[in-house]
Structure 1
């Protein structure tokens, strides 16, 4: 099973100082989302992320380079997976249930909870809106160049509405990280922990990796 360690970043972070968390995440190890799944075109965006936790939530920063970048969806729980999208799925319990968090390049979020892709319970928009996001996008200016964007996220513990999480210190959980873009000119599916499944499906917790919060 693939595994990573997420370290602690001290401090209190809000929308007003999220750039400070972004800078702190820049200093951490980058993990590659480099398993290209369910396509034979050869097109493969460059994707990595850094992850840590704070006293109040989980911080993630995605780094993306890709040929096509779209940001159509603007409302919480819109189908952002059709845009240029990065995703974070995390499960805390042995029953296989997990949260899915999906974000387009603007930071527009979709979130749900369940045990597989069927019958997922949407996390209410008022709760999802507590996630803080900071987006930085640079579009390519010449032929052969790639669009480059990064997205810093702070997911407060209170967003995990089916759990009472006060701290993640010394905690282990199951997770996976993804990149997709269903409606892009070059649709693609990438994962951090590989998914050896014939049919396209990110909602397979049996293939999640492990995160140790240290």
Structure 2
């Protein structure tokens, strides 16, 4: 009996050690402030990010069953209480079947940015298919999401993709596309009057394609779940807005 208890305690200790090891790998990303006076458009944001911000990569395969790895990178900064984000993607299959705001864009060629502003487990899931259709909700987990109003999304978030904005069926080949995004802090509707400068938050960045011919699930920070699951704020990395 004591041997069985010892084995159980050893196994629990091993699981806790593995969990601790995963969390010790959490990335820390310092989000640079880019100072800019006046109105700024997507073209200028794209250029300023290129000039001032280093590339980060979304390249981790956490689930062996899904081994396809597109080439995915991003740059992120903040300015005048808005997040500037630019994705760079190279992949074999592109799909853009969803054109309605808050539709199931994760089925398409999709990039995602999950942000927990206060690091308290309540996060926003910003999801963008490759033509810039936005899906945005807030809450503490997958089953407890509150959609942000589509009109608010369309009025506040600016998106521009090199693939345009019209839906299309899957295309196969060698594709390269980029997407520039402006996310004003106003869109964080459950955190009114939040200031990005100096904010210490948690986040993760993703690439997926649930309905593409080569399903894939890449992450920036490691996710230690048995199956692909992006709605796990305990596996977010740290995001520090300078």
Normalized against structure 2, the TM-score is what? 0.81
Secondary structure at 2:43's aligned position in 1? helix
1:205 to 218, 230, 233: 233
The alignment covers a number of residue pairs equal to 207
Q: Which has the larger radius of gyration?
A: 2
Q: Which residue of 1 aligns with 2:13?
A: none
Aligned-residue Cα RMSD (Å) equals 1.7
1:24 aligns with 2:52: no
Alignment of 1:19-98 (within 5 A): 19-27=43-51, 28-40=53-65, 42-98=67-123
Gaps of 5+ in 1: 139-143
The residue aligned with 2:217 is 189
The offset of 1:127, in angstroms, is 1.4
Q: 2-side partners of 1:51 and 1:119: how far apart?
A: 28
Shift of 1:164: 2.0
What is the CA-CA distance between 1:38 and the residue it aligns to?
A: 2.5
Q: Deviations over 1:96-147 (max 9, x none)?
A: 1000000011111000000010121011101111200011139xxxxx9620
Find the aligned partners of 2:128 and 2:39 in 1 and give their Cα distance.
Answer: 20
Residue of structure 1 aligned with 2:160, choices 129, 134, 144:
134
Q: Secondary structure at the match of 2:161?
A: strand
Q: Secondary structure at the match of 1:67?
A: strand
- Residues in 1 aligned to 2:178 and 2:86: alpha-carbon distance in whole angstroms: 7
Structure 1 residues 172, 95: closer, same or farther in 2, change over 3 A? closer
Residues 43, 67 of structure 1: alpha-carbon distance in 2 compared, 3 angstrom cutoff: same
Give the TM-score of the pair, scaled to structure 1.
0.91
Q: Are 1:180 and 2:208 counterparts?
A: yes
For the pair 1:7 / 2:32, whether they are aligned, the reply is yes
